[in-house]
Amino acid sequence: MRVLGIETSCDETGVAVYDTEQGLLSHALYSQVKLHADYGGVVPELASRDHVRKLLPLIQQALTDANTKPSELDGIAYTAGPGLVGALLVGASVGRSLAFGWDLPAIGVHHMEGHLLAPMLEETRPEMPFLALLVSGGHTQLVQVNAVGSYKLLGESVDDAAGEAFDKTAKLLDLEYPGGPRLAAMAEAGRADRYKFPRPMTDKPGLNFSFSGLKTAAANAIAEEKAQCDSPEGLSDQVKADIARAFQDAVVDTLVIKCRRALKETGLKRLVVAGGVSANTRLREALADTMHKQGGQVYYPRAEFCTDNGAMIAFAGAYRLAAGEQTDSQAAVRPRWPMTELAEPGKG
């Protein structure tokens, strides 16, 4: 089965062609980072309009790169949620229209299931069941994965997601958008003993997360340093790096502690980490060390598939289309969509 995948849930337009026998044939991605940089964050209306401009050319590029004609496709997959409603509607409308015009089945894919299955695009794939840490700008979740579509939510953030806290703290440090990766890069020059921030909710039972208090601790440290700063240029690069280091260490420690706790409770030995924050080097090192000590293994998608992309949507869509699933002709989207509402392919 050969499937065209379309991803437009937020600020990245992704298109890919995936073949269940030959693997990933092509993927094309356009990021709107420069478009939103002046605003310090994603502007939903601008995101939607840019998806409209970029999507069709990217579809043509992906098909050309895959040496695939529309008549050689077996289905179309598009992100139906969760995400920004306007952005989702662009991908859903185009996906449904092409499916109608080319007489193909189409499937609306859950964005987080796409992230969850992204490591399946790699040569070394995790066997199920496994524990999944989904960590991005919009989500921080621990999920027990028994099979595709069989998910048990073990814990999630009760306020800011980890990636969101990274971006907000970066903004407090006057780092350019997107701030999360810039904060992580700055943290590499930071001293580990300068500041000590809390590891939220690690002293309480359970697997939920909270990062708003950590963000507040960083904000207080920044305010105190600014109050004592005599330089008209503001905080020195070293002070910023030290705060960034303390913040990143606190996030990484919190995620690792919760993962260890979830692995112990479930008895699982395989951990999948996906979502934009899964590209963080320090997090990968800490989780690799944890899984090595526990005699387990950790799996990631390649760096380019950690953030939003069409390849993960094409893969997830192909899996469900092959089981006989398809979505009706309405271009319906769900900005909020709990992943636990999904069913195993062919059983929904």
Model confidence over 296-329: pLDDT tens digits?
999 999 999 999 999 999 999 999 999 999 998 8
280: annotated binding-site residue?
yes
Close Cβ partners of 76 (under 8 Å, ≥ 6 residues apart):
3, 4, 5, 6, 95, 98, 99, 102, 104, 105, 106, 107, 317
Q: How confident is the model at residue 40 (pLDDT cuts 50, 70, 90)?
A: confident
Residue 40's region, left for phi above 0, alpha for psi from -120 to 50, else beta, is: left
SS3 220: helix
Per-residue DSSP letters for 61-87?
HHHHHTT--GGG--EEEEEEESS-HHH
Count CA atoms closer than 13 A to 338's CA, side-chain side: 9
- State residue 234's pLDDT score: 80
Residue ranges and CATH numbers for the domains of the chain are 2-118+305-341 (3.30.420.40), 128-300 (3.30.420.40)
272: annotated binding-site residue?
no
- State residue 137's pLDDT score: 87
The answer to whether the CB of 263 falls within 8 A of the CB of 296 is yes
* Residue whose entry in the numeric block shows the structure tokens 């207080």: 220
Q: How confident is the model at residue 338 (pLDDT cuts 50, 70, 90)?
A: very high
115: annotated binding-site residue?
yes
Structural tokens at position 91: 């991908």
135: annotated binding-site residue?
yes
Structural tokens at position 20: 């269940």
- State residue 342's pLDDT score: 95
For the chain, what percent of residues have pLDDT higher than 70? 99
- pLDDT at residue 230 is higher than 80: no
What confidence tens digit (pLDDT) does each residue in 232-262 have? 568 999 999 999 999 999 999 999 999 999 9
For the chain, what percent of residues have pLDDT higher than 90? 91
CA-based nearest residue to 117, from 320, 289, 292, 282: 320
What confidence tens digit (pLDDT) does each residue in 310-319 have? 999 999 999 9
- pLDDT at residue 8 is higher than 60: yes
pTM (2 d.p.): 0.94
138: annotated binding-site residue?
yes
- pLDDT at residue 138 is higher than 90: no
Q: How confident is the model at residue 346 (pLDDT cuts 50, 70, 90)?
A: confident
What's the average model confidence in pLDDT over 279-288?
96
What amino acid occupies position 155? G
What confidence tens digit (pLDDT) does each residue in 55-110 have? 999 999 999 999 999 999 999 999 999 999 999 999 999 999 999 999 999 999 99
50: annotated binding-site residue?
no
The answer to whether the CB of 78 falls within 8 A of the CB of 14 is no
CA-based nearest residue to 59, from 21, 14, 100, 24: 14
Nearest-angstrom CA–CA distance, 152 and 269: 16
Backbone angles phi, psi at 30, to 5 degrees: -125, 125
Q: Which residues pair with 145 in a beta bridge?
A: 130, 151
134: annotated binding-site residue?
yes
